[in-house]
């Protein structure tokens, strides 16, 4: 059998020249930032905000930026799950043969997509979230939990004292991002050829079975890149909940910058943390996409 040809990334001379030019520009910008700005850099003060040593317990503890990063991850994961469920349901309603379902889903999508997320955050938090939390007695239920239960739940939802605010932020992000996911689902389902529906119907399947067993598996591979981009948008959009004092990464960066005046150092670290988080998400989705294509 002939040997398989190995494939890989090959850099041509123009590619190398472009990379060298970009590296030179980046190096020059860094040099000018280091010597040209009237700013005293204090990078030695930054590590304590990532990890710190607690002398009282004799152990290393996450710093404020690390705590904010964990909150961002929790917020993005829960909002992503709820937004996916909401977007899937609304997206299927958008392609429903029943007019009322299509109109209802279209109203939701149009209303959310044409409203600034900051306005939604304020409306849901101050007018809706606060009333719903009080009506359901969420704060009282949290206070009634045993200390062990609070510690266990804090790994999933962060500090229990801020759980109502955290839940409001998750629901608001899920509602906002769910409208975009709904359009991705609608487009993915409509992209499947009409012959697939006809073939499934010819085999005696109902519309629900055809959708579940024939159409959605094919649509998922086409929707995956757009869904990945939308999940990354959830991670980035989570920064907006800092306006309601959710202690995520951006909020912690603002607090540290206000008290230490480490403007450049703090925001550069915040930028790097966001980039690493979203880049890892991109790699994970890429591997999932390759695996689905092989299957």
CB 172 within 8 A of CB 121: yes
- Give the residue-averaged pLDDT of 39-46: 83
Among 102-111, 190-199, 253-262, the least confident range:
190-199
The model's pLDDT over 215-246, given as tens digits with 9 standing for 90+, comes to 888 888 888 888 888 888 899 888 888 888 78
Which pair of structure tokens corresponds to residue 194?
């009409």
Which pair of structure tokens corresponds to residue 289?
């996409």
Answer whether residue 73 shows pLDDT above 50: yes
Residue 163 lies in a domain: yes
Q: What is the mean pLDDT of the chain?
A: 84
pLDDT at 9 (0 to 100): 55
Residue 176 lies in a domain: yes
Residue 104 lies in a domain: yes
Gap between the Cα atoms of 69 and 253, Å rounded: 10
Residue 122 lies in a domain: yes
Residue 39 lies in a domain: no
Gap between the Cα atoms of 69 and 163, Å rounded: 17
pLDDT at 6 (0 to 100): 47
Output the domain CATH number for residue 200. Answer: 1.10.3720.10
* Tally of domains in the chain: 1
Q: According to the per-residue pLDDT averaged within each range, which of 140-144, 179-183, 243-247, 286-290 is highest? A: 179-183
- Give the residue-averaged pLDDT of 132-155: 78
Residue 169 lies in a domain: yes
Residue 29 lies in a domain: no
Answer whether residue 8 shows pLDDT above 70: no
Q: What is the pTM of this model?
A: 0.81
CB 65 within 8 A of CB 249: yes
- State which residues form the domain around 225: 70-234
Closest to 162 measured CA to CA, from 128, 120, 135, 129: 129
């Amino acid at each position: 059998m002939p040997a398989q040809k190995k494939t890989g990334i090959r850099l041509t001379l123009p590619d190398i020249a472009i990379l060298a030019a970009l590296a030179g520009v980046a190096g020059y910008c860094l040099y000018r930032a280091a010597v040209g700005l009237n700013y005293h850099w204090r990078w030695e003060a930054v590590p304590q905000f990532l990890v710190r040593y607690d002398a009282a317990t004799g152990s290393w503890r996450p710093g404020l930026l690390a705590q904010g990063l964990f909150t961002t991850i929790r917020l993005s994961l829960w909002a992503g799950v709820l937004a996916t469920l909401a977007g899937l349901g609304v997206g299927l309603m958008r392609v429903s043969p029943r007019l009322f379902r299509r109109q209802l889903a279209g109203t939701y999508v149009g209303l959310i997509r044409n409203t600034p997320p900051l306005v939604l955050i304020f409306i849901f938090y101050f007018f809706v979230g606060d009333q719903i939390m009080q009506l359901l007695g969420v704060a009282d239920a949290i206070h009634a939990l045993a200390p062990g239960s609070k510690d266990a739940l804090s790994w999933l939802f962060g500090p229990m004292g801020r759980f109502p605010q955290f839940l409001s932020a998750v629901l608001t992000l899920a509602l906002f991002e769910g409208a975009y996911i709904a359009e991705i689902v609608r487009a993915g389902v409509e992209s499947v050829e009409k012959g697939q529906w006809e073939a499934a119907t010819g085999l005696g399947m109902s519309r629900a079975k055809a959708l579940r067993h024939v159409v959605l598996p094919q649509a998922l591979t086409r929707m995956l890149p757009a869904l990945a981009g939308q999940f990354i948008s959830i991670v980035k959009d989570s920064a907006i909940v800092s306006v309601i004092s959710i202690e995520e990464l951006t909020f912690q960066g603002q607090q540290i910058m206000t008290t230490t005046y480490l403007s450049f150092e703090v925001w550069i670290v915040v930028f790097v943390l966001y980039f690493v988080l979203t880049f890892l998400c991109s790699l994970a989705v890429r591997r999932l996409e390759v695996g689905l294509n092989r299957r």
